[in-house]
Amino acid sequence: MSANNLQIAVLGAGNVGAEVIRLLQQNHSDLAARAGGNLVISKVLVRDLKIKRSAKVEFTNDANSILNDPKIDLVIELMGGIEPARTYIKQALSSGKSVVTANKALLAKHGAELFALADEKNVDLYYEAAVAGAIPILRPLRESLVGDHVTKIMGIVNGTTNYILTKMSETGEDFQSALHRAQELGFAEADPSADIDGKDAAAKAAILAGLAFHTRVTDEDVYCEGIAKISDVDIKVANALGLTIKLLAIAQVNANSKNLNHKSICVRVHPTLISQKHPLASVREAYNAVFVEAESAGQMMFYGKGAGGQPTASAVLGDVVAVARHRFSGGIGPKESDYADFKIEPISESQTRYLIRLNVADKPGVLAAVAQEFNKHQVSIQTVRQYGAGTNAELTIMTHLAKESDLSATVKDLAKLSVVDDVASVIRVEGEI
Ligand SMILES: NC(=O)c1ccc[n+]([C@@H]2O[C@H](COP(=O)([O-])OP(=O)(O)OC[C@H]3O[C@@H](n4cnc5c(N)ncnc54)[C@H](OP(=O)(O)O)[C@@H]3O)[C@@H](O)[C@H]2O)c1
């Protein structure tokens, strides 16, 4: 690095990379003034050199020409995927380059080795754009809330699924038609499985939980259930009860971990019923939001655009300026800690409330038989409602707080009852209702 120039390489010039390059060039003088020196794009790595690109920069398809170039100070990784991104980031860190990335899939799987390498080499590894696009949430967790104890995070961190659930709720569309509409409007990929199955949200949940609870969490630690089974009937019932269904990434200190020295956490992604009055219920369409509860700060919500080239580039550039400031002043910035090393409980140990819909025979004794199964597994019922009659009778049962393993055992036994035709759905419930 020359005294006043930070040499940057960008790996990837797709949706996000192209915007990062454009904004670095367009806002050059502002960014230089804020960073304390010029941010100079040396090279940009792409796969296909034949694609016509508008940016006036040097493109290459030879990663080594970047990774082996000692003049490059900062590598911005915006290719996505696990390999070769992981190898390139490791090579960059090993040779003393700082790294900014938006790659949630990679960090949720291999974060620990990358953070350890950045530590060893005394360089920055930042990734604000990896969770909830433009929304500043990782820096607040890492820095602003580091003096507090975060107790729970609930996030709408996948715009595609939030768009689909919003349409189902507001127009009465079923899942397939809402998905089709999301694809037509560009809110869902041609292959939307990572979004629909909750895998994308699970990677983000792992990253959020790791920062909030000072513990290494990987995507494999996260229980994950997508939205494909949510029916238009579930949505109608939720609306009738003053509730709404959101795909939430939830990370919390377990309610039953009383001993502060043996605290455990649970990290899960699943469709969740929340009150229509909860701040997260107002997050519509493809917007994202992260609701944080901390011991002293209380409740906070971070809201904004969770994806898109330009919004995501804003978060990337925030990291780039932060790294540049550290480089120009000599040193590195704040990093996450993993000292707490909380035990990560399996979903079977988590506690929440549940809404269960049963199709039942409409005859005397049904309620008693159903209640007995709940009683047997010590799951306490808060309310029971019956809709319909005859062959269309449906029971909607809201439980009090129950342990997941007890609830699963209850549902298994309910399904065996002769008076129960079908367990139509089981959806977890969070917050005051
Ligand atoms: N898009 C969003 O809204 C968003 C939001 C938050 C986070 N992110 C994250 O940001 C990252 C980039 O996403 P994106 O949407 O910008 O992806 P994208 O549009 O698919 O762009 C990927 C870029 O990387 C290049 N590339 C891919 N594999 C390569 C390889 N093996 N060697 C060299 N170049 C390679 C591609 O080159 P070619 O152009 O030659 O094909 C392309 O320029 C991902 O980690 C994603 O999860 C994206």
Secondary structure, 3-state, 154-169? EEECCHHHHHHHHHHH
Grouping H, G, I as helix, E, B as strand and the rest as coil, residue 147 is coil
Neighbouring CB atoms inside 10 A of 326's CB total 19
Please say whether the beta carbons of 281 and 244 come within 8 A: yes
Q: Are residues 183 and 250 in the same domain?
A: yes
Q: Is 129 in the pocket of ligand 1 (CB under 6 A)?
A: yes
Query: Which positions are annotated as active-site residues?
Result: 204
Q: Are residues 84 and 18 in the same domain?
A: yes
What CATH number does residue 420 fall under?
Answer: 3.30.70.260
Q: Given this model, what pLDDT does residue 261 score?
A: 61
Place of tokens 């990253």: 207
Q: Which atom of ligand 1 is the closest one to the Cα of 61?
A: 33
Q: Is 46 in the pocket of ligand 1 (CB under 6 A)?
A: yes
156 closest CA partner among 212, 116, 205, 220: 205
Q: Are residues 61 and 197 in the same domain?
A: no
Residue 90 falls inside a structural domain: yes
Q: Is 307 in the pocket of ligand 1 (CB under 6 A)?
A: yes
H or E element that contains 8: strand 5-11
Residue 84 falls inside a structural domain: yes
Please say whether the beta carbons of 257 and 272 come within 8 A: no
Length of the chain: 433
Ligand 1 centre distance from Cα of residue 392 (Å): 50
Residue 342 falls inside a structural domain: no
Ligand 1 centre distance from Cα of residue 389 (Å): 54
**Which residues form the domain of 178?**
138-305
Q: Are residues 150 and 298 in the same domain?
A: yes
Grouping H, G, I as helix, E, B as strand and the rest as coil, residue 312 is helix
What CATH number does residue 71 fall under?
Answer: 3.40.50.720
Q: Are residues 297 and 169 in the same domain?
A: yes
Q: Are residues 273 and 149 in the same domain?
A: yes
Residue 58 falls inside a structural domain: yes
- State how far the Cα of 320 lies from the Cα of 20, in Å rounded to an integer: 10
Residue 380 falls inside a structural domain: yes
Q: Are residues 273 and 390 in the same domain?
A: no
Q: Are residues 103 and 188 in the same domain?
A: no
What CATH number does residue 251 fall under?
Answer: 3.30.360.10
Residue 394 falls inside a structural domain: yes
Q: Are residues 128 and 235 in the same domain?
A: no
Number of domains in the chain: 3
Ligand 1 centre distance from Cα of residue 288 (Å): 21
Q: Are residues 164 and 289 in the same domain?
A: yes
301 closest CA partner among 65, 430, 101, 136: 136
Candidate of 15, 91, 107, 137 to mutate for ligand 1, largest count of ligand atoms within 8 Å of Cβ:
15
φ/ψ of residue 264, rounded to 5: -130, 160
Q: Are residues 31 and 100 in the same domain?
A: yes
Please name the residue whose Cα sits nearest to atom 12 of ligand 1.
78
Q: Is 23 in the pocket of ligand 1 (CB under 6 A)?
A: no
Question: Domain boundary at 271, 305, 339, which?
Answer: 305
pLDDT per residue rounded down to tens, the chain (433 residues): 666 899 999 999 999 999 999 999 999 999 999 999 999 999 999 999 999 999 999 999 999 999 999 999 999 999 999 999 999 999 999 999 999 999 999 999 999 999 999 999 999 999 999 999 999 999 999 999 999 999 999 999 999 999 999 999 999 999 999 999 999 998 888 899 999 999 999 999 999 999 999 999 999 999 999 999 999 999 999 999 999 999 999 999 986 655 556 689 999 999 999 999 999 999 999 999 999 999 999 999 999 999 999 999 999 999 999 999 999 999 999 999 999 999 999 999 999 999 999 999 888 889 999 999 999 999 999 999 998 877 788 999 999 999 999 999 999 999 999 999 999 999 999 998 8
Q: Given this model, what pLDDT does residue 68 score?
A: 97
Ligand 1 centre distance from Cα of residue 315 (Å): 15
Ligand 1 centre distance from Cα of residue 3 (Å): 31
425 closest CA partner among 387, 401, 395: 395
Candidate of 60, 79, 128 to mutate for ligand 1, largest count of ligand atoms within 8 Å of Cβ:
79
Q: Which atom of ligand 1 is the closest one to the Cα of 133?
A: 6
Q: Are residues 366 and 321 in the same domain?
A: no
Please name the residue whose Cα sits nearest to atom 25 of ligand 1.
12
Place of tokens 């999301």: 182
Computed over its alpha carbons, how large is the radius of gyration of the chain?
Answer: 24
Residue 9 falls inside a structural domain: yes
Q: Given this model, what pLDDT does residue 363 score?
A: 85
Residue 379 falls inside a structural domain: yes
